[in-house]
Amino acid sequence: MAKQIPDIVIGRLPVYLRALQQMLAEGRQVTSSQELGERLGISAAQIRKDLSQFGEFGKQGTGYNIEYLANQVREILKVNKTWEVVIVGAGDIGRALAGYSGFSERGFKIRDIFDNSAERIGEQHGEFVIKDIATLKSEAHAAGIKMAMIAVPANAAQAVADVLVDAGIQAILSYAPVNLNVPPGVRVQNIDPSIHLQRMTYYLTE
Amino acid sequence: MAKQIPDIVIGRLPVYLRALQQMLAEGRQVTSSQELGERLGISAAQIRKDLSQFGEFGKQGTGYNIEYLANQVREILKVNKTWEVVIVGAGDIGRALAGYSGFSERGFKIRDIFDNSAERIGEQHGEFVIKDIATLKSEAHAAGIKMAMIAVPANAAQAVADVLVDAGIQAILSYAPVNLNVPPGVRVQNIDPSIHLQRMTYYLTE
């Protein structure tokens, strides 16, 4: 694809895909940009414009075939395959992520969970035995892992990010509430519940 | 404040605040829109423009006093006070949230954790005894709770959202990977790790 797609458009595609998967689960076959927009609080025009960046997915007046569109979006996002992901940090959040059943149908599989605590290493958690972070680099290289999640305290997160970058990881989802520095070519997304809560308090009436 | 501030600006303020708090923790006293921008991957002009919506926080050429600016942003976001939040769902994610120590310095306090499972209700988890969701409405009303987090499976989330709305909750942070329908005046934010992961796979080289 020669054309550069704005990152903000890429960011909306997973949200469209989730809504499409939800519609499929409801037994639906056809939808429209209007209906999608109403579900998501996004204008129909925005959805049509976003999708038109990638081609023609629906016929004027007949709407979108949901399964076809979902498959196309999966292909665009490269989640028509399964990506293995490693977790660093075997505390409450890391263990909750390791046990989360929602990844498989979205294109992801947790491969391993790592920690640096002697007490945790070797511990069984569900199907995982918690591994020593010292082995992460060689394991990730050998298996060609590109994605990781960080679930360590804020003050340890940058050091973990450095280890991940050194191990060839290209995409990091961090649950640590700090801004991570990574070299160009490595992507970081953050999940920080306080950020989301603070975004809503502005609107609350006391 | 008579002026309507765009929601996208409000959405960036918590990110600025987190960076300011991080700088304070590093013992820093003064910063600039340039430095903040570099940390956050946002242009200095954007930061100046966002902050100028709310007043004049720095002097040309001398930068921002970090503590002063952080306090002003806290006041704008109304997190210069502590908001009590209830959690619904006492599974792995709900329990991890209940035990998360990062809320207190960001303006939030977990008040209670609710579930509908007879096995979980009454169970002790850390400082919390898991409560019956049937009591949520009366407790939330009595205590004037405005905020909640949903940590239940996708197929149960809408019913929980309905209970929360009925209980007077105005802001919901949902960890369930579905789009929730709520009436106008109720805000919803979603945290769904697959959405963040899918936003990055587009850029990965296989």
A42: CATH = 1.10.10.10
Chain B residue closest to A189 (CA)?
B196
CATH of residue B169's domain is: 3.40.50.720
Q: Specify if A203 maps to a domain.
A: no
In a 13 Å sphere around the CA of A183, the CA atoms on its Cβ side amount to 10
pLDDT digits (tens, 9 = 90+) for B106-156: 999 999 999 999 999 999 999 999 999 999 999 999 999 999 999 999 999
- Single residue among A26, A46, A76 that ends a domain in this structure: A76
Q: Are residues A47 and A146 in the same domain?
A: no
Distance of CA A16 to the CA centre of its chain: 14
Of the candidates B105, B107, B85, B106, which has an alpha carbon nearest to the alpha carbon of residue B97? Answer: B85
pLDDT digits (tens, 9 = 90+) for A128-169: 999 999 999 999 999 999 999 999 999 999 999 999 999 999
Interface of B with A in 142-171 (CB under 8 A): 146-147, 149, 154, 170-171
Residues of B in contact with A147 (CB under 8 A): 197, 200-201, 204
Do B71 and B128 have their domain in common?
Answer: no
Q: Does the interface predicted TM-score (ipTM) exceed 0.90? A: yes
In the prediction, which pLDDT does A1 show? 47
Query: Would B63 be classed as within a structural domain?
Result: yes
Q: Which backbone phi and psi does B108 adopt, to 5 degrees? A: -135, 150
Subunit contact A107:B205, Cβ cutoff 8 A: no
Q: What pTM did the predictor assign?
A: 0.91
Q: Does A87 lie in the same domain as A15?
A: no
Q: Which of residues 4-33 of B touch A (CB under 8 A)?
A: 10-11, 13-15, 17-19, 22
Show the tokens assigned to B13: 């303020």
Q: Let me know whether A90 and A135 are in one domain.
A: yes
Q: What is the mean pLDDT of residues B171-191?
A: 95
A200 found inside a domain? no
Taking contacts as CB-CB distances below 8 angstroms, the residues of chain A near B108 are 194, 197
- Walk across the sheet containing A58-59 and list its strands: A30-31, A63-65, A58-59
Cα–Cα nearest to B151, from B186, B122, B181, B193? B193
Domain count, chain B: 2
- Burial of residue B196, with CB atoms counted within 10 A of its CB: 0-12 exposed, 13-18 middle, 19 or more buried: buried
Is A176 exposed, middle or buried (CB count within 10 Å of its CB: 0-12, 13-18, 19+)?
Answer: buried
User: How high is the mean pLDDT of chain B?
Assistant: 94
Say yes or no: B155 and B93 in one domain: yes
Residues A81-130: tens digit of each pLDDT: 999 999 999 999 999 999 998 999 999 999 999 999 999 999 999 999 99
Query: Which structural domain, as residue segments, surrounds residue A38?
Result: 7-76
Residues A14 and A114 in one domain: no
- The verdict on A26 and A98 lying in the same domain is no
% of chain B beyond a pLDDT of 90: 88
Given B46, B77, B108, the domain boundary residue is B77
Note the pLDDT of residue A20: 96
